[in-house]
A and B are shown apart, each in its own frame.
Chain A
């Protein structure tokens, strides 16, 4: 059973363009939602972390939104750069057993 679903699976955009990645979750009880960036061959690096009471959080050119009612989150990347090429992973923290539930990620490729 997939409790964190991400879309699209992969995305190719031109350098300088914006893009939005989606995350839907069914994890309960929900504590917080995180977005990570993972470069090929490296461990994930945290971009944002939001609790259920937060609607939006920014980290430079990355802006995450959260709608806890519909259980949806998005990650918007502005003015993409070649270094943004990576996998972006949505993760939900389940408070009941202190587990992080990981999505499969969206593979983003930025082309010059």
Chain B
């Protein structure tokens, strides 16, 4: 039982490049979300999904896209990376209104 997995663990991008951060869960959770956490700061919600085919914006959605074609996967796409997107990205899953389980995070550096 892997729980919540995120890949890659680390990534360095140049300004303007695009990439996809992967998140997968094997707990059959309906609710999945993406957060970013800047150094010394709290988590900020980027996008979330309450089920396959349903996504919605969080607090800081600009520059990011998501899709949810299956219950298990919730990829986050950076369209054109900017230095302001340097951060640690966490994926989380839960049953609706239940405790969230977080992945180990992806550390992204945009030069």
**Which positions in A face B, CB cutoff 8 Å?**
31-32, 34, 41-46, 49, 89, 93, 95, 97-100, 102-105
Please encode chain B, from 87 to 105, with 1 for each CB lying within 8 Å of some chain A CB and 0 for all others: 0001010001111111111
Contact in complex: B42, A34 (CB < 8 Å): no
* B56 located at the interface, meaning its Cβ lies under 8 Å from any Cβ of chain A in the complex: yes
Residue of B nearest to A87 (CB): B42
**B56 — which chain A residues lie within 8 A by C-beta?**
97-98
B46-65 with Cβ < 8 A to chain A: 48, 50, 56, 58
Pairwise interchain contact B31-A49, C-beta atoms closer than 8 A: no
- Extra contacts, 6 of them, besides A43-B105, A105-B42 (Cβ < 8 A), are A34-B99, A49-B99, A98-B56, A100-B45, A102-B44, A104-B41
Check if A93 sits within 8 Å of B42, measured CB to CB.
Answer: no
With an 8 Å Cβ cutoff, the count of chain B residues facing the other chain is 23
Q: How far is the CA of A103 from the CA of B31 in the complex (A)?
A: 20
Is B102 within 8 A of A89, CB to CB? Answer: no
B48 and A43 within 8 A (CB): no
Top 9 A-B pairs ranked by shortest CB distance?
A43-B102, A104-B42, A46-B99, A102-B43, A43-B90, A98-B50, A105-B42, A102-B42, A49-B99
A99 adjacent to B45 (CB under 8 Å): yes
Task: Tell me, yes or no, whether B71 is within 8 Å of chain A by CB.
Answer: no
Please report the C-alpha to C-alpha distance between residue A100 and residue B1 in the assembled complex, in whole angstroms. Answer: 26
